[in-house]
Amino acid sequence: MTGAAGTVALLLAGGWPLALSLLWGVPSLRPRVSRLAPWAALPALLVSLFGAPGFTVDLSWLLFGARLGLTPTTQVFLFLTALIWTAAGIHWRTHRRDGDHCERFCVLWLLTLTGNLGLILALDVALFYTSFALMTFSAYGLIVHNGSEAARRAGRVYLVLGVIGESLILIGLLLAARATEAPLLPMLADLPDAIAGSEHRDLIMASLWLGFGVKAGLPLLHFSLPLAYAESPVPVAAALAGAMIKAGLLGWLVTLPLGAAGLQGWGWILLGTGLFATFAGALVGVQQSRPQLVLAYSSISQMGLISVALGAWMFEPALGPAMAAAITVYALHHALAKGALFLGIGVAHHRTRMPVMLWIGLAFPALALVGLMPSGLLAKGSLKNFAATGASLLDAFPQLPTLLALAAVGTSVLMARHFWLLRLDTGRDAAPPGGWHGWMLLTGASVFAVFLLPWWGVEGHWPDTVKSLFGIVWPVLLGVALSVVASRRLQPWPIPPGDVLVLLTPLPGLAVRAGRALGVTGPAARRLLRHWQARALARYMRADHRFGRFSEHLWRRDASLLFVLLLALVASIGALGFAR
């Protein structure tokens, strides 16, 4: 695409939602804006489809001098983000009820979208960080939208973690930027090498890993995900689970020095956490009692798989191309499927005339997720493609394929659980006209979008042998069997959403109480001080008065006596001065 057109297109992709949100400031335009809002992601979608990677736009006046552009990876991310936002927008458009703060929701929706798109399009650190922050903070408004106590708690948790994440990212970016040639105008592309060469490499990587991990659902930073997904409106949940979680992943991809040598240690860490997340997510998710929560934990475990891939990449740089492809494919596949599932929850609420069709439709993304659909096949195939080049990873860690297979078991159990729960609350309310459009769009995409990948030059790896096919199929069957048995036999433990968080929340209160017990509160100390002050002041006043009267008396009455004394004094001094 040509220069001018490209520039306009790129600017539109990021700027259109922003422009809309600004236009909303004009009262007379508000109804029109809120009608356009759901479609705000369309320009980005078109750019992602028809944009050429490598094309950049320089905005020297923006921040320190910003740069927009596309790379193959970001193009895929742009596509999935725009698609999910559009679908969610359509869903929202058909499901929104007039009244409660619809306008506030509209503005925050646009701002979050802007941030989400901007961080994908950004090529320089400043704009990237700006968009990331914009997304984080305006998403808060979407999460607490329905204003219930639970929603506010979710929002609080999300915000605290978000702020911490932002600061961690800032530390990482600052240190990394310092290591680049142009610390004041750093480009994302320069960061990985700079980090690899920096003297605080590990500090930088740790802070970036954790900082983006807050979004990507890293274990122990994941609390906000289940809470937020469960409490926020369906389209928002879809956007969060599908698009925004991938923002964290993108953060990892663009900043961490993945291909650099000598990162085995980090490789192990990522592998470990990834596997832990995978299984823990599955185990905790099974115990949940609401479909959103189940999906949230499944997201956590899926992201765990992705970070396994990252770990593999770090562990063995030679795996780079294969893993890069795998991660991209998996991200696309998981994002679309998860988005479809969430919208599906919304759709399943409606009474429908053709339940069979509904259930088949609902099944598609789930099957894709467990890997029985083309997208799933491709994803899993390219993920397990460790043997692509040399097998040192497999030598070091031979159990890895088995573990991944078990992870697939976990996934399918989660899906089974999801449907079990979904079954319970179907057909509650009347279906709005076309309420299923957005869902349908995503479902279709979740199955077939992978065929677009070559278009962006991303080559996945199809499972070619029967053995590998079987290796994908058997865990699913096992999982289904397990869940059937489990549904008969055992009761789920009541693990609250945001598992470990429940143990952390009382801590501040305890600290305060301890302080009170020791009696170190502000007022007490202040009262004591004021008391002393008052006493000192009173005493001073009395002394002052006495001395004042005394001195007055002396100076007045015996002035002349004083005079004589001084005369004697001065005279003697004079005489002494003379004697010297």
Partner 1 sequence: MDWNSLILFAVLATSLVASAVIFLLAESRVTLRSTINLAAAVLKLLLVLWIIWGVYQNIEYELRFTIIDGVDFILRADALGIMFVGLSSLLWLFTTLYAIGYLEKAPNRSRFFGFFSLCVASTVGIALAGNLFTFLLFYELLTLSTYPLVVHRGTRESLRAGQIYLYYTLGGGALLLFGVVALHVLVGDTEFIPGGSLSGLDPTLYPLLIGIFLMMVIGLGVKAALFPLHAWLPMAMVAPAPVSALLHAVAVVKAGAFGIARVVYDVYGIEFAFSLGLLGPLAVAASITILYGSLRALAQDDLKKRLAFSTISQVSYIILGISLFGPIGTIGGLVHLLHQGLMKITLFFCAGNYAETLGVHKVSELDGAGQRMPATSVAFTLGAFGMIGIPPMAGFISKWYLGIGALEAGMNWVLGVLIVSSLLNAAYFLPILYRIWFRRRERPWCEGKVVGRFETPALLLIPTLATAAFALAAGLFAGMPFSPLYWAQIIVSREYLP
Partner 2 sequence: MIGFWSVPLLFALPLALGIVSLLAPPAWRARLGLAGLLPLLAASIAVFAHLVLDGPHTYALGNWNAPLGINLAVDGLAAGMVLLTAVVSSLCAIYAWVYLRDQPASSSFFWPLLWFLWAGMNGIWLAEDIFNLYVGLEVMGLAAVGLVALKATPQALAAAMRYLLAALLGSLAYLLGVALLYASYGTLSMAGLQEAATADVTTQVALALIILGLLLKTALFPLHAWLPPAHGGALTPVSALLSALVVKGSFYILLRIWMVLGTEVTPFATAQLLGILGAGAVFYGGWMAWRQHHLKQLVAYSTVAQIGYLFLFFPLVTGTGPEAARLAWDGTLMMLIAHALAKAALFLSAGNLILAVGSAHIGHLVGISRFRPMSLFSFGLAGVSLMGLPPSGGFTGKWLLLNSAILSGQWWWLIVLFLGGLLSAAYIFKVFRMAFREGPQVDHSVTPPLTLDVTALMLAASAILIGLTAHLPLAWLRIGSPFGAG
Partner 3 sequence: MSGALVFAWSGVVLFSLGLFGFIVHRHLLRRLLAFNIMGSGAFLVLVGLAQDGRGIDPVPHAMVITGIVVAVASTALALVVFRRWYRASGRTDLPEDT
Residue 561's binding partner among partner 2, partner 1, partner 3, none (Cβ under 5 to 8 angstroms by kind) is partner 3
116 is a contact residue toward partner 1 (CB under 8 A): no
Of residues 521-540, which lie at the interface with partner 1 (CB under 8 A)?
522
Q: Is 564 in a helix, a strand, or coil?
A: helix
Q: Which residue lies nearer to partner 2 by CB, 31 or 548?
A: 548
Q: Which residue has 């695409």 as its token pair?
A: 1
Indicate whether 52 belongs to the interface with partner 2 (CB under 8 A).
no
Q: Does 551 bind partner 2 (CB under 8 A)?
A: yes
Is residue 470 within the footprint of partner 2 (CB under 8 A)? no
| Single-letter code of the amino acid located at 206 | A
Q: Which of 520, 564, 570, 573 binds partner 3 (CB under 8 A)?
A: 564
Judged by phi (left if over 0) then psi (alpha if -120 to 50, else beta), residue 144 lies in alpha
Q: Residue 561, interface with partner 3 (CB under 8 A)?
A: yes
The nearest distance, CB 53 to partner 1, in angstroms, is: 25
- Interface pick for partner 1 out of 167, 399, 402, 487 (rule CB under 8 A): 167
Residues facing residue 355 across a β-bridge: none
SS (H, E, C) 54-109: CCEEEECCCCCCEEEECCHHHHHHHHHHHHHHHHHHHHHHHHCCCCCCHHHHHHHH
- Under the criterion CB under 8 A, does residue 165 sit at the interface with partner 1? no
Shortest reach from residue 571's CB to partner 3, in Å: 13
Q: Which of 560, 576, 577, 580 lies at the binding interface for partner 3 (CB under 8 A)?
A: 560
- Closer to partner 3 by Cβ: residue 32 or 545: 545
**Nearest CA-CA partner of 120 in 35, 211, 181, 188:** 188
**Ramachandran region, residue 245 (left: φ > 0; alpha: ψ -120 to 50; beta: rest):** alpha
Give the range of 206-214, 280-288, 372-380, 559-567 binding partner 3 by CB under 8 A. Answer: 559-567
What is the closest distance, in whole angstroms, from the C-beta atom of residue 214 to partner 1 in the complex? 14
Short-list 344, 410, 329, CA closest to 376: 329
60 binds partner 1 (CB under 8 A): yes
Token readout for 212 is 């983006």
Are 365 and 375 in contact by the 8 Å Cβ rule? The answer is no
The least distance separating partner 1 from the CB of residue 172, rounded to whole angstroms, comes to 11
- Name which of partner 2, partner 3, partner 1, none residue 569 binds, using a CB cut-off of 5 to 8 Å depending on partner kind: partner 2
Q: Which does 129 bind (CB under 5 to 8 A by kind): partner 1, partner 2, partner 3, none?
A: partner 1
Q: Tell me the window of 38-46, 131-139, 338-346, 441-449 that interacts with partner 1 (CB under 8 A).
A: 131-139
How many angstroms separate the CA atoms of 120 and 114, rounded? Answer: 10
Is the Cα torsion angle 521, 527, 530, 536 positive or negative in sign?
negative
Stretch that binds partner 1, among 162-170, 401-409, 435-443, 486-494 (CB under 8 A): 162-170
Distance of CA 118 to the CA centre of its chain: 15
* Nearest CB to partner 3, comparing residues 530 and 553: 553
Q: Does 129 bind partner 1 (CB under 8 A)?
A: yes
HSE-up of residue 351 (Cα within 13 Å, Cβ side): 3
Angle in degrees, CA 452, 457, 462, rounded to 5: 65
CA–CA gap between residue 180 and residue 185 (Å, rounded): 9
Q: Are the beta carbons of 393 and 312 closer than 8 angstroms?
A: yes
CB 332 within 8 A of CB 453: yes
557 binds partner 3 (CB under 8 A): yes
Residue from 513, 553, 573, 574 touching partner 3 (CB under 8 A): that is: 553
Question: Quick one: 444 exposed, middle or buried, by C-beta within 10 A (0-12, 13-18, 19+)?
Answer: middle
Q: Is 341 in the site for partner 1 (CB under 8 A)?
A: no
Binding footprint of partner 2 on the chain (CB under 8 A) = 544, 548, 551-552, 554-556, 559-560, 562-563, 566-567, 569-571, 573-578
Q: Give me the residues that bind partner 1 (CB under 8 A), please.
A: 59-66, 104, 126, 129-130, 133-134, 137, 141, 144, 147, 152, 155, 159, 163-164, 166-167, 170-171, 174-175, 177-178, 183-184, 522
Binding footprint of partner 3 on the chain (CB under 8 A): 552-553, 556-558, 560-561, 564
